[in-house]
Chains A and B, each alone.
Chain A
């Protein structure tokens, strides 16, 4: 029962480096979301996708990119990492925007 799997769980980046956070789900969900969580700020929506080949911006998309080539995978790419991108990132999937979100365990990213 894998559900939503995120990798890596922890990563330290230097300013200006790039990386991709991987997210895969095995529930055949069409809807997938990326959030970042910062202390006292709740979860902020970065990007979301309602199906393969379709992505859209959320509340805080600047500095990030996504792609959705398959139903299962929804990677989040950070280009030119900045200290402001230090955060915990959560990927989630759902049958629809009115259904339950299933979350991964999170990826803790530090940019120094």
Chain B
């Protein structure tokens, strides 16, 4: 069975600073990995996903993530934070059983 661990339930960064949100996964098969964002009182929307191929994945709104098999990680980064990035971010993993499992989420706060 697969699982996801997101380190840090809350992360605060200054506007213009680097954003780094951490995600580690566990999977007995090659995983498919996702990052979703949730704005207040809304459903989730996809930021980016890794299936196969290039390990550095670019997503919407300037976000990217790198799949590192040796570290079982899929951390999300953005070079320069914007106030509009304040939201909750979820890492998710899918294996060969059709389940899509989410982490507990990280709330990103942007400081002016």
Q: Can you pick out 21 interface pairs between chain A and chain B where the beta carbons lie within 8 Å of each other?
A: A4-B43, A33-B100, A40-B105, A41-B104, A42-B104, A43-B102, A45-B102, A48-B98, A48-B100, A58-B99, A92-B43, A92-B44, A94-B100, A97-B32, A97-B98, A97-B99, A100-B46, A101-B36, A103-B45, A105-B42, A106-B42
Distance in angstroms from B107 CB to nearest chain A CB is 9
Interface presence of B11 (CB below 8 A): no
Closest B residue, CB atoms, query A35: B102
Please give 12 more A-B residue pairs, beta carbons under 8 A apart, in addition to A56-B98, A100-B49: A4-B43, A41-B104, A42-B90, A42-B102, A43-B90, A43-B102, A45-B100, A48-B98, A50-B98, A59-B101, A98-B49, A101-B36
Interface presence of B72 (CB below 8 A): no
Q: Which of chain A's residues have a CB closer than 8 A to the CB of B36?
A: 101
Q: Which of chain A's residues have a CB closer than 8 A to the CB of B101?
A: 45, 59
Interface presence of A31 (CB below 8 A): yes
Interface set, chain B 23-78, CB cutoff 8 A to A = 32, 34, 36, 42-46, 49, 51
Interface presence of A74 (CB below 8 A): no
